[in-house]
Amino acid sequence: MTRNAIEISGLTKTYQGGKQALKGVDLNVPEGSVFGLLGPNGAGKSTLINILAGLVIKTEGRVKIWGWDQDQNPRQSRAAIGVMPQELNLDPFFAPRDALEVQAGLYGVPKSQRRSDEILAMVGLADKAEAYARTLSGGMRRRLLLAKALVHNPQVLVLDEPTAGVDIELRQMLWENVRRLNKEHGLTVILTTHYLEEAEQMCDEIAIINHGELIAQDSTQNLLGRLDAKTMVIEPDHDPQSLPTRDGIEVTRRPDGTIALSYNSSKTSAEEVLDCVHAAGIRIRDVRTEQADLEDVFLSLTRDAAA
């Protein structure tokens, strides 16, 4: 039986002022997985992460981290998790090594068990151990945040939008670090992102959250299988008499005169779509395809949920 690194049930959060950011979330994160929490801006991802981190107080519900109930065993549950926050909230006065030492002190890690230099080397900051914080680039600061999340040797690592707005090189580096921590050190990793591609590449399992509610949770493979909506956009070379029709294809005429054919690539092939266009007597001047993006995925999932 797989054990869960995190168990969340009935989790709600209503902020002062009445904003309901989480509306009863149940979520289990299997031990040893790289788990993606996906959702558009404002979905409630950071709220959930910050509750795990002990930075936001939940309104209702239960949270267990590494088997420790957050309310009954706050110290143990906090020790089991390391969080790399979304905001770059670094103290400008500490050089990287000092920042890690201070963090280790906060978590009560004895001097003999501290691994500041090892961690700095792991995130590629060994040569910056004593640099002035203000001389660090944005990318270095982000890596330092990752390093800080690791000082107390947590079993669960949480990354809130680790690659939002970072360049490709740093993104690759963060991904490699996360993979290595997961594979070699057995860390359970939870990351939030609004990039579908990132979730696809990194995560074994994905949960999708929207408006404070979980709308899907599945293995990445299964989920992507469900997210195969495609749209072919045809520019006809004359005004068509009639539009194509076929089961499994949704046809709409767009204001610019093009015809959009939406279909699921697992059920309908591009060939079949073109066939039905030809069958309607339409000659094609130009054609392009549009991939479903996360927005479409949400729409389709919320539609499914409503049906």
Cβ 22 vs Cβ 13: under 8 Å: yes
The interface partner of residue 288, options being Mg ion, ligand ADP, none and the CB cut-off 5 to 8 Å by kind, is none
Identify the sign of the CA torsion 143, 145, 148, 153.
negative
193 counts as binding ligand ADP under rule CB under 6 A: no
50 counts as binding Mg ion under rule CB under 5 A: no
46 counts as binding ligand ADP under rule CB under 6 A: yes
47 counts as binding ligand ADP under rule CB under 6 A: yes
Least separation in angstroms between CB 43 and Mg ion: 8
**Nearer to Mg ion among residue 214 and residue 273 (C-beta):** 214
Among 4, 28, 33, 46, binds Mg ion (CB under 5 A): 46
Cβ 83 vs Cβ 52: under 8 Å: yes
Q: Which of residues 64-83 bind Mg ion (CB under 5 A)?
A: none
* DSSP label at residue 121: H
Q: Which of residues 157-186 bind Mg ion (CB under 5 A)?
A: none
Burial of 1 per CB tally in 10 Å (0-12, 13-18, 19+) = exposed
The interface partner of residue 39, options being Mg ion, ligand ADP, none and the CB cut-off 5 to 8 Å by kind, is ligand ADP
Q: Which of residues 239-278 bind ligand ADP (CB under 6 A)?
A: none
Q: How many of the chain's residues bind Mg ion (CB under 5 A)?
A: 2
Q: If you search the block for the tokens 């978590």, which residue do you land on?
A: 107
Structure tokens given for 89: 């909230």
Strands 20-30 and 156-160: unpaired
* DSSP label at residue 257: S
Which of these segments, 12-20, 162-170, 175-183, 285-293, binds ligand ADP (CB under 6 A)? 12-20
CA distance 259 to 280: 12
Q: By the criterion CB under 6 A, which residues form the site for ligand ADP?
A: 15, 17, 19, 21, 39, 41-47
